[in-house]
Amino acid sequence: MDVLGNLASGFAIALTPWNLLYGLLGAILGTAVGVLPGLGPPATIALLLPVTYKISPVSAVIMLAGIYYGAMFGGSTTSILLNIPGEPASVVTCLDGYQMARQGRAGPALGASAIGSFFGGVVSIFALMLIAPSLAAVGLKFGPPEYTSLVILGLMMAVYLSEESVIKGLIMMMIGILLGTVGIDPAFGAERFTFGLPRLTSGIDFVVVGMGLFGIGEVLINLEAPEVREVFKTSLKGILPNLDDWRRSWASMIRGSVLGALIGVLPGGGAVISSFVAYALEKRISKHPERFGKGAIEGVMAPETANNAAATSSFIPLMTLGIPGNLSIALIFVALMIHGIRPGPMLIQEHPDLFWGVIASMFIGNAILLALNLPLIGMWVKLLSVPYRYLVVVIVVICVIGAYSVNYTAFDVGAMMVFGIFGYLIRKARFPAAPLVLAMILGQILERSMQQSLMMAGGDFMIFLRRPISVGLLSVAGLLMLTPVARRLWKKRHRFQ
Amino acid sequence: MKKRGDIVAGFFGSFIGVAVMIGANRLHLGTPSEPQPGFFPFAAGIILVVLCVILLLQALCGRDQRTESFGELWRPAILAAGLFVYAVVLDSLGYIIATIILSVVVLRVLDTKTWLKLVGISLVLSLGTYFLFDRLLDVSLPGGILTGLM
């Protein structure tokens, strides 16, 4: 029983006092940023990146992972009590969660999301543990052409799933790819697009861009019309869902876990998308879809289970193929690179302590989070009574420290502001920001693998179409880009009939 | 006009794309079998221009693209200006003083009335984060004119 042995050694690593402490810290911070609207997991992970340079890579990933999945636990609290998503993966939880709160059933809603999150998380850890090693074996067979196609698929997925028009997503993606080329070219050592500025030779850091687009951009939008927020006053007695609730929602919990685990693995997938899909699925297959939006517990259970499952399973592509599928994972990718660890198919073999230690820490982390979000939920509800304007100041200061500490220069604070304004404008024009930031990282992998493939093939672009895995990946990417066009044609034809 | 945002974005994007192509050309393109540093950005520039032209055509043909109007702009403008100034003075003034000023400005913009609250919160926030990051977490922040005092 290889898995059990490995897992046991993983627990030995995760249970050392320091790693326990980092795991606990990650869980608490994650819940806090999940509860507080406006500061998502990527911004928090970015802020703590410089802190992780000084600790071991295992501890670093344990803490950063804890922030990511911890936020999945915390986000629902704000959605249910305030009707404002605490973080983007809890947007749909507002629909039925807030209605439950208005009917005096905030307790069971909070309870269901905590238990669901825990269940989804555990299912997904098993998926990570059992699927990752064999997927890594497949990954070892990947050559540069397969990697090129995989990255293209990941980018197309990110665009397709970004909820705005595909053409706008693609434009953002190309801008991200181009931003990623700024600085010294890795293959030739030539300076590209630095405009003679020495600051730009090391490239534009994607942490700075992300903080600007998501942190500051969001604040600028909110400053336009500061909203009044009110916590729903309700007693939190009876936090556990009753028998009737369980009868309605146990199947949603299982469906949410499986769906979330699957979507997390997809390149470009992750917690946010999974929650939307899980909600839509529940509504579609329900015998009483009219209950949705009016306080159906399934509408809380499914997305909350799915988002934590997806957050956990999105570690699979990172740890097996070295391809980050979403922003939080991309930041963890960066953290590993800084420690000199290259995520990829060799990661599990070369760093078993990292892989199994993190898995064990996820079991511990989910148990801690269940305790933090079930018996101790009242503590987080109090956090919500902090007025929004104080929160804005904290977000601004956190973004400033985060951007500054990437390279310890004030230049990056100014750069972050530029991207903040850019983020504000593209939000107004309804361009999605996520494909841009992801493309900054994936674009660099894309360029390298594309160069290698072309050199291999003597400049023949057909190499991408001659290898079966590569063709498969590219066809899926192509189909994704064609679906919006097909849908439009379909609609037109129906209008004529 | 609702599509104005798309038209502006399309022109702006095309402009960037063309500029990138010119810049990449200077870096030498090479051949597909032996790509030089300019090859990949050049290809990306072409795709960007094509995409922006499609966006422009869609906008001009009146495809319904949702854009949002602007609200009150003075608050975001003050924060943007404030952060630029902050970036300029951060090294000379130091983190603590610069952050206190920034925080007072942001809180004032957001309608915090009493000065006691303004200054109190700003002091606590600035000093608190300084000690947390600089002292506890070893993320050194610029000392500026207070270097030596703290």
User: pLDDT of A337-379, one tens digit each?
Assistant: 889 998 999 999 999 999 999 999 999 999 999 999 888 888 8
Instruction: Name the closest residue on chain A to residue B49, using Cα atoms.
Output: A171
Contact A133, A359 (CB under 8 A): no
Query: B86 vs A400: CB contact, 8 Å cut-off?
Result: yes
pLDDT band at A459 (very low <50, low <70, confident <90, very high): confident
Does A243 have pLDDT greater than 90? no
Residue A50 half-sphere exposure, CB side, CA atoms within 13 Å? 20
pLDDT of B66 reads: 56
Query: B32 vs A175: CB contact, 8 Å cut-off?
Result: no
Over range A188-215, report the average pLDDT: 84
Instruction: Name the closest residue on chain B to residue A410, using Cα atoms.
Output: B87
Along the 150 residues of chain B, how does pLDDT read in single tens digits? 456 788 888 999 999 999 999 988 888 888 877 788 888 999 999 999 999 999 988 888 875 555 566 767 888 888 889 999 999 999 999 999 999 999 998 888 887 778 888 888 899 999 999 998 888 888 888 888 877 766
Q: Which of B41, B90, B110 has its CB closest to that of A192?
A: B41
Closest by CA to A348, choosing from A112, A201, A130, A195, is A130
**Mind telling me how many Å the CA of B146 is from chain A's nearest CA?**
17
Contact A110, A80 (CB under 8 A): yes
pLDDT of B1 reads: 45
Helices (H), ranges, A36-165: 41-52, 57-82, 93-102, 106-140, 144-160
Residue A427 half-sphere exposure, CB side, CA atoms within 13 Å? 20
- Concatenating the DSSP letter of every residue in B52-91 gives HHHHHHHHHTT-----------HHHHHHHHHHHHHHHHHH
Does A320 have pLDDT greater than 70? yes
A410 neighbourhood in chain B, CB within 8 Å:
87-88, 90-91, 142
Lowest mean pLDDT among A55-69, A214-228, A244-258: A214-228
Does A95 have pLDDT greater than 70? yes
B26-85 residues touching A, CB cutoff 8 A: 27, 31-41, 44-45, 47-48, 51-52, 54-55, 58, 65-68, 70-73, 75-76, 79-80, 83-84
Query: B75 vs A223: CB contact, 8 Å cut-off?
Result: yes
Count of helices and strands (H, E) across chain B: 5, 0
Over range A292-310, report the average pLDDT: 92
Q: Which of A223, A410, A457 has its CB closest to that of B90?
A: A410
Does A434 have pLDDT greater than 90? no
A219 neighbourhood in chain B, CB within 8 Å:
79
Model pTM score: 0.86
Residues 6+ apart with CB under 8 A from A442: A151, A154, A155, A177, A323, A324
Closest by CA to A467, choosing from A193, A189, A191, A143, is A143
pLDDT of A229 reads: 64
Is B108 near chain A, with CB under 8 Å?
no
B19 neighbourhood in chain A, CB within 8 Å:
none
Is A392 near chain B, with CB under 8 Å?
yes
Query: B80 vs A455: CB contact, 8 Å cut-off?
Result: no
Measured distance between the N- and C-terminal CA atoms of chain B, rounded to whole angstroms = 55
B51/B39 Cα distance (integer angstroms): 19
A397 neighbourhood in chain B, CB within 8 Å:
99, 102-103, 125-126, 129
